[in-house]
Amino acid sequence: MTGIVELLPKEYGYILLNLVAYCFLNIYMQIQVGRARKKYRVSYPTLYATEADTKDFKLFNCVQRGHQNSLETLPIFFVLMVVGGLKHPLICSGLGLGYTVSRFFYFTGYSSGDPKGRLPIGGLNSVAIIGLILVNLTFGVSLLKA
């Protein structure tokens, strides 16, 4: 273990804390989907409800979709954080924090039942991802030039 710690920048701990914070956000979203299943009476394995399942199918689907979209982008976020953080841990940590906070607002806005509610603050998650992509690109180029 000592060898790994010596290879990583000290600030890499912020990357790990960011990833754990996002895990807690994901657990929060899972709980909200579970509550919505009970509230709108949508049983498993139904992923998205129809009018035949519940009259509130659109409300349930907004909660489910907010979580599903976060799951779809989770691998991209995690990889960009883990790799980019090797070279630029503080920049990636800042972008990761911004991403996690904006994802919270994305989910809560979507869960309101109006899909447009996800965009005002939640839409900033795209800015954070673009920033992480740029950090990883510069890291890749610096490795090629070394």
Q: pLDDT tens digit string along 49-97? A: 999 988 999 999 999 999 999 999 999 999 999 999 999 999 999 999 9
pLDDT tier, 4 (very low <50, low <70, confident <90, very high otherwise): confident
| pLDDT of the residue at 2 | 64
- In words, the CATH class of domain 11-145 is mainly alpha
pLDDT tier, 1 (very low <50, low <70, confident <90, very high otherwise): low
Instruction: Flag whether the pTM goes above 0.85.
Output: yes
| pLDDT of the residue at 92 | 98
Residue 116 near residue 57 (C-beta atoms within 8 A) = no
SS3 at position 145: helix
Our CA dihedral for 48, 75, 70, 99, rounded to 10 degrees, sits at -170
Which amino acid, residue 72?
Answer: E
The set of residues, in sequence order, having a beta carbon less than 8 Å from that of 33 and lying 6+ positions away, is: 63, 64, 67
Share of the chain above pLDDT 70, in %: 99
